[in-house]
Structure 1
Amino acid sequence: MSAGKCEVCLEEKPKLVNCGRCGDRKYCGAVCQRKDWPTHKYSCQPKKQPSWILKITIPDSREPQIHRTIVCPDGATFEQLHYAIQIAFGWANKHSYDFVARDPTAEERPVEDIMALMKRRAAQDNGEQRDFGPRQNFIRIVNPNDHKMADSLHSYDRRHSQTPEKKADKVYIGEQFNKKEWKSAEWEYMYDHGDNWGHEIEIIGRGKIDDAFKCTEGNGHGIAEDAGSMPGWEDLKNAYRAAKPTDEQKEKMHWFENMASNFDPEGLKGRENFVDLDVINSLLTSNIE
């Protein structure tokens, strides 16, 4: 509260209260604030909050480990964060995705035997949503266009009847990262529910108020889309490392340089750590609204 003139009664008061939503309008008290709301609500915009600084890592990647540091606006949706991750890591945005807030105290899910897997598939075919083990996540934030993706069938494996689901285009970053109920949550972004490219999201701080995504640091060339999970990516790296590549390795390199969804005509030779922040930030600016 601070000294000044009330926006409604125009009386000068030693202490005024700001509108709790936008922080711009000043009132002598609740009576004047309620009186002003029918008019003020049309111009009242939520007060902008500092951006989130996120370190996003593909933990299964090795030599080098692939990671990016992204500045994310507080008011961005998780769908916009998805696009930012796709750009920063060089993915081709051809598969489904989700975000989960993992509960670090959850019991581990037992490994399914073949009979349990068959029962779960049968239940899914019948439209049932069953537990098949303890709940793992506080929330699952899903691709709003999941039904259009070729790998949508695998999304069933990530559902749980006790885990609420929300669509990524309707959920805001600050709203979720600020939740006291799951302050201990471990955030994960999963891309391609067939190859399962997991990304750990670590909140490392807050930045200035900003409406734009930025990538400030990174390491490791983006992984080839549809490489065949991490073993396939390792095979591709080994092909480029080979002094005398076999015919099979030459085919892999040709595929990556010419045919992969996110192909790179320059290949990986001597470029395994390559990250072009200028290109990434140019794409973030021009592709995310």
Structure 2
Amino acid sequence: MKIHGTKKLLDAIPFEVTVEGEGDNELYAWHANLLTIDRRKTLVLMNNSNRYVVVLHGLKAKEFKNLDMIIHEAIRKTFRAERIQEEVIDRYLEEAGPVTFHKTKNRSFVAQLNKACDNVCFDSRNLDPDVLVNTEVAKRAGRWLTGGGKKEMIRPYEELRKDLTAMAEGPIFTAEAAVMKISMPFEGLSIWRRVRVPLNMPFNEFHNMLQILFGWTNSHLHEFYVFDQTETTEPYHYFSPYHVKGDFKPVLNIVMDEELIRDTSEVEQILEKNLLLSDVVPKNTLMKYVYDFGDNWQHEIIMEEIVNDESIVSPVCLEGEGDAPPEDCGGEPGFREFLAIMSDPTHPEHDSMKQWAAGQLYQRFNKGLVNHRLRGM
């Protein structure tokens, strides 16, 4: 694997800079630059073939001595975060071979690398100082359009998938997926989505999917509950009677960060980034997602079936009905008032409510638009 480093990077590492060979596969070569972001050494790697980015944030002096092995592991973790099968990642790293360091190839590659670095800097507020390999920032950078001039505009993550599919000569994602129905339990209203979702999806991405499905803006805290399917006579009442019948015992609370872990909790708690859907489904078929602890938006999640679908790359909304509430409308009472005003053009607050809803980025449910956004996951 060839790493074409800028002078700043090559001056910082104790490795010999080797002579560039000819006719090499660009899929196994990367350009790299060393930045300082928030007073931390940040390495940005850009694949020569597809412009996909890998980001290491907070490199320490001692880690530069093992940078070759660290780069290998960073690529593995980032590809894994893209839900690429482990055997495909293994093959890529094996065919790429040991890391060697080289000078940058030409101005075109350097210009593209600089643009990738700009994208990472623009998203620097989301860099996690507690982890070295920042997969989430890398994934977001890979979804921005890049190119321009004489080059066709591309999305690097799509090009990466094409390259790895050609390399593997077959599917690079798991074929196992779950079909789920997700409902918001309001009496007299029908608000639900049916979705097919890959089972190797982490719960933090599952949360992002739910935000897209219901038009939320990820502005508040959230958590999940997983339930035992065995009915109990104990009065838990974790579910509304409008959809799921019976009371069910919570067996797991999945939280977004450590601040939500409570020492007094009677239910096992785990961080969402440490858990895959496949760790819960299909063993458990009943979950609850709570978004915005103030307005308390509850979503009932029922796993309907497990399917094998080699075409499954990202979640797909199969069907749905009803518009979810706008952000910060005041819980169920505020939502019902919102619906009444919006449905009555003669209401004195109708125009101001429409203007307020636009400010909240409120949108009607549109399956086509939802699936367009889901394809970016």
Q: How far, CA to CA, are the matches of 2:303 and 2:264 in structure 1?
A: 25
> How far is 1:56 from its partner?
0.2
Q: How far, CA to CA, are the matches of 1:72 and 1:82 in structure 2?
A: 12
Q: How far, CA to CA, are the matches of 1:67 and 1:109 in structure 2?
A: 23
Alignment of 1:276 onto 2:375 = no
| Structure 1 residue aligned with 2:275 | 171
Gaps in structure 1 of 5+ consecutive residues: 1-21, 25-38, 111-134, 265-273
Task: Give the letter aligned to residue 281 of structure 1.
Answer: N
**For each residue in 1:175-228, what CA deviation from the matched residue of structure 2 results, as whole angstroms up to 9, or x when unmatched?**
11133xxx4x63111111111100000111122242311111011123101110
Runs of 4+ displaced beyond 6 Å: none
**For each residue in 1:249-285, what CA deviation from the matched residue of structure 2 results, as whole angstroms up to 9, or x when unmatched?**
443332112x22x334xxxxxxxxx521111111111
Mapped contact 2:342–2:353 kept (Cα < 8 A): no
Mapped contact 1:61–1:230 kept (Cα < 8 A): no
| Structure 2 residue aligned with 1:88 | 213
Mapped contact 1:236–1:253 kept (Cα < 8 A): no
Alignment of 1:162 onto 2:288 = no
Mapped contact 1:214–1:281 kept (Cα < 8 A): yes
Task: Give the letter aligned to residue 175 of structure 1.
Answer: D
Alignment of 1:256 onto 2:375 = no
Aligned residue for 2:337, secondary structure, equals: helix
Q: How far, CA to CA, are the matches of 2:268 and 2:175 in structure 1?
A: 26
TM-score by length of structure 2 reads: 0.47
Task: Give the letter aligned to residue 256 of structure 1.
Answer: A
Task: Give the letter aligned to residue 204 of structure 1.
Answer: E
| Structure 1 residue aligned with 2:198 | 73
Task: Give the letter aligned to residue 296 of structure 2.
Answer: N
Superposed counterparts of 1:227-266, under 5 Å: 227-247=329-349, 249-257=350-358, 259-260=359-360, 262-264=361-363
| Structure 2 residue aligned with 1:214 | 316
Change (3 A) 1:243 1:263: closer
**For each residue in 1:25-71, what CA deviation from the matched residue of structure 2 results, as whole angstroms up to 9, or x when unmatched?**
xxxxxxxxxxxxxx99x98xx993520000000012633x1100111
Aligned residue for 2:208, secondary structure, equals: helix
TM-score by length of structure 1 reads: 0.61
Q: How far, CA to CA, are the matches of 1:233 and 1:50 in structure 2?
A: 37
Aligned residues: CA RMSD: 3.1
| Structure 2 residue aligned with 1:186 | 286
> How far is 1:109 from its partner?
5.2
Change (3 A) 1:47 1:238: closer
Identity of aligned pairs, percent?
A: 23
Superposed counterparts of 1:42-61, under 5 Å: 48-60=174-186
Alignment of 1:108 onto 2:239 = no
Mapped contact 2:290–2:299 kept (Cα < 8 A): yes
> How far is 1:101 from its partner?
1.1
Mapped contact 1:74–1:173 kept (Cα < 8 A): yes
Mapped contact 1:108–1:136 kept (Cα < 8 A): no
Mapped contact 2:282–2:303 kept (Cα < 8 A): no
Q: 2:297 aligns with which of 178, 197, 205?
A: 197
> How far is 1:235 from its partner?
0.5
Q: How far, CA to CA, are the matches of 1:57 and 1:205 in structure 2?
A: 16
Mapped contact 1:74–1:172 kept (Cα < 8 A): yes
| Structure 2 residue aligned with 1:123 | none
Change (3 A) 1:187 1:277: same
Alignment of 1:62 onto 2:188 = yes
Total equivalences in the alignment: 199
Q: How far, CA to CA, are the matches of 2:323 and 2:173 in structure 1?
A: 37
